[in-house]
Amino acid sequence: MIYEFTINGRKVKTGDVISTSDGTNSIFSLGYRILGKLVPGDMDHSVLYVGPEGLCVEAGIYGVITFNASPEWDSEEMFAQRGLLDTFRAASSVLKSRGLLETEENAIRIFVRAYALGCVGKPYNINFLDPDGERALYCSQLVYLAYKKVGIDLNVGKSDIAGRWFDKVVFPQEIFDNSTEIPAG
């Protein structure tokens, strides 16, 4: 089933990506803001919306988890579920503008949801140079692998982001850059 939900005025569908960055102004997010400065690009965290309601899947400090987003992204409200304090930056669709038939798009969305939910409970991957491993996952790796399984490679544009040394790493900014932003309204 394909779900829809509105987050910060953006209508997301199952398989869409929420991009966040740098923590809130809260003192509790200081560590996350410092870590975010080390990640190239404006986006430093990727979350998959799966539905129903505000159900999302992410890889973070607790490993791969589900949490419920509210219609207005409030990371302080969601902190107990996620252990993260971040700022909503954008929502995007990996599938929009790919010329897919509605049935193809829906099949991919259903697969991405099932893949992401199947990863819940896996630990966080600190080996960013192994984006194709599935034993443990980091945030953008989860999104990358879910879509790679259906033939969509989101690990492109690397040299524009971090240079040759980090070519294997899948950065949240790459996920966003290889998607179509969902406008508010």
Beta bridge partners of 92: 17, 181
HEC secondary structure over 7-42: ECCEEEECCCEEEEECCCCCHHHHHHHHHHHHCCCC
Burial class (CB in 10 A: 0-12, 13-18, 19+), 149: middle
Give the model's confidence band at 22: pLDDT under 50 very low, under 70 low, under 90 confident, else very high: confident
- Torsion-angle region of 8 (φ positive above 0: left; ψ -120 to 50: alpha; else: beta): left
The domains found in the chain, sorted by start residue, are 4-178 (3.90.1720)
25-70 pLDDT per residue, tens: 443 434 444 444 455 578 989 999 999 999 999 999 899 999 999 9
Q: What is the CA radius of gyration of the chain?
A: 15
The two counts, helices (H) then strands (E), for the chain are: 6, 8
Mean pLDDT, residues 17-21: 95
157-185 pLDDT per residue, tens: 654 544 555 678 899 999 999 999 999 98
Encoded amino acid at 70, one letter = S
Distance, in Å, from the CA atom of 73 to the CA atom of 69, rounded to the nearest integer, reads 7
